[in-house]
Amino acid sequence: MIDVIGTLDNFTLLPTPVLDDTEASGFRTEQRMQVSLKAASDEEALTIEFRPGADGRFDTDAPSEALLNQWIESGELVQAFCASVRAQPFQHKPGKTYRKKGKSMQVGAETVEMESFVVFSGVSMAPLAGGPALDEQVRKARASYKAKQREYRAKRNAERVAQMEAQMGERVQQMRERQAAQAQQMAQAAGQPAEAVAANGRRRA
C-alpha cells in the first residue's frame, strides 16, 4: 500500500475511453475522478485517481465531492491510500510553458516533446488526524489491487479463448494435412498408394 499525505488542491471527473469488445463501438466511456494533492513534504503536485466499479459507481471508500470540497476549503492534511502507481505520458503543446523540458521524440515527420506524470491508483482517502487504522487500509488496498488483477486476467483469458476458437478451423486443417503427409510417408515406405494406408499407419486389406 502507498500512503500519500498532503493537502487537496483540486478534483475533476474525467471521461476516459476504455477498450471493451462487448460494446458495438469497441470501447466504453468511464468517468474517473482525479484528485490533485500537494505533498506535505515539498508541495509537489500529485494525482490520485479513483476508478468506478462495473456498475459505473465509485466505491463507498472513495471520497465524495462534498468531502473533497470541504478538505480543499479547510486546507486540512489528508492521506490517500493507494494500491499502485503508474507513469502517465502526455505530449507538450506548442506555445505552452511547462515546469520541465520534455523528451524529444520523432512521430512521423514531426518532432514532439513527451513527458509523464505519476498517477496513484486511489482506494480511499481520510484526514491525517484521527485517521483510520492502517492495517484495515492495507487490507482494502490489497483487495482493490487483487480485484483489478483478476479483472485483467479474466479479460486476457477470454481473449485467448476467443483467439483459439477463431483458429479452430485452421488448426483442424493443419492436423488433417499432417495426417495425410504421415500416411503418404507410410505408403511410400510400404510401396503402396497413400489411400491404401489407414490413418493409424496400418495397411488396409
pLDDT at 12: 93
203 occurs within a structural domain: no
Count up the domains in the chain and report the number.
1
pLDDT at 172: 82
Identify any residues that bridge with 49 across adjacent strands, giving them in sequence order: 34, 121
> Average pLDDT for consecutive 10-residue bins of the chain (205 residues)?
89 87 84 91 90 79 91 92 81 71 73 77 88 70 73 78 83 85 81 56 53
174 occurs within a structural domain: no
180 occurs within a structural domain: no
pLDDT at 200: 52
- The set of long-range contacts for 58-67, using a CB threshold of 8 Å and a minimum separation of 24, is 58/33, 59/123, 59/124, 59/144, 61/123, 61/124, 61/140, 62/33, 62/122, 62/123, 62/124, 62/125, 63/35, 63/124, 63/125, 65/11
198 occurs within a structural domain: no
Domain range for 55 is: 2-164
pLDDT at 196: 55
Q: Which amino acid is at 98?
A: Y
pLDDT at 150: 78
55 occurs within a structural domain: yes
Q: Work out the end-to-end distance of the chain between its first and last CA atoms, rounded to an integer number of angstroms.
A: 72
127 occurs within a structural domain: yes
195 occurs within a structural domain: no
Rg (CA), the chain: 29
82 occurs within a structural domain: yes
Please provide residue 179's backbone torsions phi and psi, each rounded to the nearest 5 degrees: -65, -45
pLDDT at 24: 85
Please provide residue 129's backbone torsions phi and psi, each rounded to the nearest 5 degrees: -75, 125
